[in-house]
């Protein structure tokens, strides 16, 4: 696998060594069992996969290369490079300005972007309309296009099945940058509709009948469908793709649900009406989520998940862990206030909370520590070191590393 040139400020000696040992022991990435760092009175359980993925590393490498290669030029990002404030703040400190916020609200007017400016496309990709706008202004966008190759894979698959007459059902968050981009690329070739979860899938399926309620459908899904979407025509042949950071098992469940609907409706000819899109699920998202699920089999007392609070894949990881143990979603070591107080983010309510007695009195204490795909290992290591301090760990990191159970 390609090795990316990532700034040292985002690399961790301790976490890097753990990952190196795992790669050497399991080069084909077939083992999803978590590892354990034993600090005596504290056991840290590390999922098999966490942190920067291929797409994120590619985006970071390309962004810093753009900075190096263009001294004196104005540099812009369409929006946040990835959903991590530390990375985005460092890019801004190096002179990069954001044209839009994460929901597409304009920060810098398009009129201020000139042909000799450098515009970087983030890992989420961008819409066809924005790319065409930049090209019409004479801005070269392909040199620093960091769109994740797995996002592009979804686009290509959408184009392929759309050309065969299938409508595209996108499992994603309506206002997420990646979903907006996938929606744009999908409706170039086919009708498209966005659904958030199984509940919306069931609502959409309720309109897949011979004489659907067109007015009701347009009222319910009006902001989630492509122009000219005809509910009586465009749900007869379908394929399901996803925002790559969504819960993979949920995407598969939604796809299986629609396949059953199509089978019941069209009988033995159902395959003509349903496109199998399992090959579009992102391997990195799958690996991280599968690794997280494996930690549920451990005897952990609690979990700490580190990442940006607008990171979809980090929220999915926190959600998985929360089904089995107290889980705290934090942005960095500063959220571990003291041995009795922790500040953490509640994703469903989108609110910051502060909890007391968060680590209890148990000794030894077992803690799952993990991070999202956009979180630098340096932040995860800083959280680990803060935890060691608060627990008055009996062993030093080097000693725990030597006894690492991979």
pLDDT per position as a tens digit, 34-79: 999 999 999 999 999 999 999 999 999 999 999 999 999 999 999 9
Say if residue 278's pLDDT is above 90: no
Where do the CATH 3.40.50.11270 domains begin and end in the chain?
A: 54-136
The answer to whether the Cα torsion of 288, 100, 150, 55 is positive or negative is: negative
Q: How confident is the model over 176-183, as a mean pLDDT?
A: 96
Measured CA to CA, the distance from residue 378 to residue 383 in angstroms comes to 9
What's the confidence (pLDDT) of residue 1? 62
Measured CA to CA, the distance from residue 79 to residue 98 in angstroms comes to 5
Nearest to 223 by CA among 185, 274, 173: 173
pLDDT per position as a tens digit, 83-114: 899 999 999 999 999 999 988 999 999 999 99
Where do the CATH 3.40.1010.20 domains begin and end in the chain?
A: 8-52+284-402, 150-280
- Name the band, by pLDDT with cuts 50, 70 and 90, for residue 29: confident
The answer to whether the Cα torsion of 156, 80, 320, 53 is positive or negative is: positive
Say if residue 178's pLDDT is above 90: yes
pLDDT per position as a tens digit, 292-322: 999 999 999 999 999 999 999 999 999 999 9
Query: What would the CATH number be for the domain defined by 150-280?
Result: 3.40.1010.20
Nearest to 83 by CA among 91, 94, 71, 75: 91
Q: What is the pTM of this model?
A: 0.92
Residues in Cβ contact with 188 at an 8 Å cutoff, skipping those fewer than 6 apart:
128, 159, 162
330 phi/psi in degrees, rounded to 5 = -125, 165
- Name the band, by pLDDT with cuts 50, 70 and 90, for residue 280: confident
Measured CA to CA, the distance from residue 371 to residue 369 in angstroms comes to 7
331 vs 280, higher pLDDT = 331
Assigned token pair, 335: 């959220």
Cβ distance 181 to 151 under 8 Å?
A: yes
Cβ distance 401 to 14 under 8 Å?
A: yes
Q: How is domain 54-136 classified at the CATH fold level?
A: Rossmann fold (3.40.50)
| Burial of 102 (C-beta count, 10 Å sphere; 0-12/13-18/19+) | middle
Cβ distance 184 to 127 under 8 Å?
A: yes
Q: How confident is the model over 329-346, as a mean pLDDT?
A: 97
Cβ distance 178 to 300 under 8 Å?
A: no
Say if residue 209's pLDDT is above 90: no
**Which residues are marked as active site?**
178
238 phi/psi in degrees, rounded to 5 = -140, 160
- DSSP calls for 136-204: HTT---STTB---HHHHHHHHHHHHHHTTT-EEEEES-TT-HHHHHHHHHHTTTS-EEEE-SHHHHHHH
Nearest to 185 by CA among 233, 138, 243, 143: 243
Q: How is domain 8-52+284-402 classified at the CATH fold level?
A: Cobalt-precorrin-4 Transmethylase; domain 1 (3.40.1010)
């Amino acid at each position: 696998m390609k090795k990316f040139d990532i700034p040292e400020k985002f690399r961790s000696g301790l976490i890097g060594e753990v990952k190196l040992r795992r790669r050497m022991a399991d080069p084909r990435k077939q083992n999803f069992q978590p590892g354990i760092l034993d600090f005596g009175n504290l056991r840290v359980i590390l999922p098999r996969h966490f942190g920067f993925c291929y797409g994120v590393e590619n985006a970071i490498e390309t962004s810093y290369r753009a900075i190096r290669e263009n001294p004196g030029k104005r540099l812009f990002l369409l929006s946040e490079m990835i959903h991590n404030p530390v990375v985005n703040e460092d890019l801004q400190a190096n002179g990069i300005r954001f044209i839009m916020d994460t929901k597409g609200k304009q920060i810098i007017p398009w009129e201020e972007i000139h042909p000799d400016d450098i515009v970087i496309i983030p890992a989420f990709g961008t819409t066809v309309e924005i790319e065409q706008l930049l090209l019409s202004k004479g801005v070269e966008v392909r040199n620093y296009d960091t769109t994740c190759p797995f996002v592009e894979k979804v686009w290509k698959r959408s184009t392929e099945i759309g050309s065969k007459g299938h409508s595209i059902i996108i499992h994603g968050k309506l206002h997420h940058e990646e979903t907006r981009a996938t929606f744009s690329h999908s409706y170039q070739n086919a009708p498209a509709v966005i659904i958030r979860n199984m509940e919306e899938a069931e609502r959409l399926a309720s309109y897949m009948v011979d004489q659907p309620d067109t007015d009701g459908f347009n009222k319910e899904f009006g902001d989630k469908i492509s122009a000219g979407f005809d509910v009586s025509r465009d749900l007869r042949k379908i394929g399901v793709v996803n925002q790559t950071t969504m819960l993979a098992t949920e995407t598969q469940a939604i796809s299986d649900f629609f396949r059953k609907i199509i089978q019941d409706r069209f009988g033995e000819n159902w395959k003509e009406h349903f496109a199998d899109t399992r090959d579009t699920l992102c391997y990195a998202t799958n690996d991280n989520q599968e690794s997280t699920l494996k930690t549920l089999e451990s005897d952990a007392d609690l979990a700490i998940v580190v990442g940006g609070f607008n990171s979809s894949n980090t929220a999915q990881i926190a959600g998985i862990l929360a089904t089995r143990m107290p889980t705290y979603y934090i942005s960095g070591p500063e959220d571990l206030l003291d041995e009795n107080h922790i500040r953490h983010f509640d994703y469903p309510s989108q609110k910051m909370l502060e909890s007391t007695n968060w680590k209890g009195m148990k000794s030894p204490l077992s803690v799952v520590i993990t991070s999202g795909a956009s979180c630098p290992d340096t932040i995860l290591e800083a959280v680990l070191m803060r935890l060691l301090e608060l627990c008055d760990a009996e062993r030093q990191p080097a000693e725990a590393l030597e006894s690492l159970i991979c």
